[in-house]
Amino acid sequence: MVTYCLVRSLPRGFIFDGQRVPLVAPQGIFKPRILPQIPLSITTTPEGPYDDSSGPDGLLLYRYRGTDPHHRDNAGLRMAMFRKVPLVYFHGVVPGRYLAVWPVFIVGDDTDNLTFKVEVEDSSYIGAYRQNGIKDKFIADPPAEGRRAYLTAEVLQRLHQRGFRERVLRAYREQCAFCRLKHLELLDAAHIIPDKEPDGKPVVKNGISLCKLHHAAFDKFLLGVTPDYKIEVREDILKEKDGPMLLHGLQGLHHQKIILPRQIELRPDQEFLDRRYRRFKAAV
Count of domains for the chain:
2
Host domain of residue 180 = 175-283
Of 142, 168, 194, which residue is a domain's last? 168
Instruction: Decide: 60 and 156 in contact? Cβ < 8 Å.
Output: yes
DSSP structural state of residue 256? P
Say yes or no: 122 and 209 in one domain.
no
Give the CATH number for residue 23: 2.30.280
Say yes or no: 201 and 147 in one domain.
no
Say yes or no: 101 and 211 in one domain.
no
Instruction: Decide: 43 and 87 in contact? Cβ < 8 Å.
Output: no
Say yes or no: 159 and 273 in one domain.
no
Say yes or no: 156 and 255 in one domain.
no
Say yes or no: 68 and 189 in one domain.
no
DSSP structural state of residue 62? E
Q: What is the pLDDT of residue 14?
A: 74
Q: What is the pLDDT of residue 5?
A: 59
Say yes or no: 137 and 184 in one domain.
no
Q: Determine the residue type at 278.
A: R
Cα angle 90, 95, 100 (rounded to 5 degrees) comes to 20
Of 120, 143, 168, which residue is a domain's last? 168
Q: Find all residues with CB under 8 Å of 48, minimum gap 6, and list them.
A: 92
* Model confidence, pTM: 0.73
Say yes or no: 239 and 126 in one domain.
no
Mean per-residue pLDDT pooled into runs of 10, the chain (284 residues)? 59 74 76 83 70 72 90 93 91 80 91 92 68 49 66 83 91 97 96 91 94 97 97 94 88 96 96 96 84
Q: What is the pLDDT of residue 270?
A: 97
Q: What is the pLDDT of residue 129?
A: 47
Of 139, 168, 197, which residue is a domain's last? 168
Task: Decide the pairing of beta strands 223-225 and 231-233.
Answer: antiparallel
Say yes or no: 185 and 97 in one domain.
no
Q: What is the pLDDT of residue 225?
A: 98
Say yes or no: 270 and 251 in one domain.
yes
Say yes or no: 15 and 111 in one domain.
yes
What sign results for the dihedral spanned by CA atoms 86, 87, 93, 99? positive
Buried b (16+ CB within 10 A) or exposed e, 151-175: bbeebbeebbebbbbbbbbbbbeeb
Q: What is the pLDDT of residue 26?
A: 67
Say yes or no: 135 and 215 in one domain.
no
